[in-house]
Amino acid sequence: MASQSAASLRKPRADGVRNRERVLEAAKAVFSAGGSDASLEAVAKRAGVGIGTLYRHFPTREALFEAVYRREVDQLSDLAEQLKSAPDPVDALRRWMRSNVELVATKKGMIAALALAVQTSSELYAYSFDRLTKAVAGLLDRAVAAGEIRADVSAEDLLRALIGMCYLHDQPGWQSTVLRLMDVFIDGLRVKPDGGGKTTSSSQRGGAKKRAKPARKR
């Protein structure tokens, strides 16, 4: 009898966890798509729960925003760890950067659909930028150590470039444009082989030219 009572107490909590995850996943999909249909009611419908259930887990629009955003940041951090064992360090870096476009799309959609003020979430953005910077730093360091990516860029440079691309484009279908530009950007960071078979970045080659001594006149 006691075991049955304990099981019955655990079941609602398990259902609650599942409902919460369904709402978060639905919110990501609905807000990433954007448009006039990106509402809390649309999120509840996609998740297969009532609007009351949504509000029970997330009593305010800001609470839903923060939960979705933190979940996305956590998943990107986990993805970075997984990609550290990928055979191609440049491809791993590229895949992680492209996955970030989904995060920005979700954030932009939520700000628009929920009419949130960006200033109210400045602490959340600071937390996310710090965590994402640490995540991409490991992938960047690995690509640099392999001699595949130039060494004069930082993890902060990569994230700021990505954010700039995402917010510069705001027309429907902007994600595909940013993904294409992100590929061009990563390709531009690749180290090019020199004539002697060594690998060096363009900045290193420029420095080498400046250090070269002029030939003596005879």
DSSP one-letter string for 122-166: HHHHHHHHHHHHHHHHHHHHHHHHTTSB-SS--HHHHHHHHHHHH
Q: Where are the beta strands (DSSP E) in the chain?
A: 192-193, 199-200
pTM, entire model:
0.74
Go through the chain and tell me how many residues it has.
Answer: 218
Closest C-alpha to 97, from 166, 28, 3: 166
pLDDT value of position 194: 64
Closest C-alpha to 107, from 79, 151, 73, 131: 73
pLDDT value of position 121: 61
Position 17, amino acid: V
Q: What is the pLDDT along the chain (218 residues), one digit of tens a residue?
A: 454 544 444 455 678 889 999 999 999 988 887 766 788 999 999 999 999 999 999 998 889 988 998 999 999 999 999 999 999 999 999 999 999 998 888 888 888 888 776 555 677 878 888 999 999 999 999 999 999 999 999 999 999 999 899 888 777 788 899 999 999 999 999 998 763 334 444 334 344 334 344 444 44
pLDDT value of position 186: 96
Dist CA 42 CA 44 (whole Å): 5
Mention the CATH class of domain 62-192.
Answer: mainly alpha
Dist CA 72 CA 87 (whole Å): 25
Position 156, amino acid: E
- Where do the structural domains in the chain lie, given as residue ranges? 62-192
pLDDT value of position 212: 43
Dist CA 81 CA 75 (whole Å): 10
CA torsion sign, 149 to 79 to 103 to 183? Answer: positive
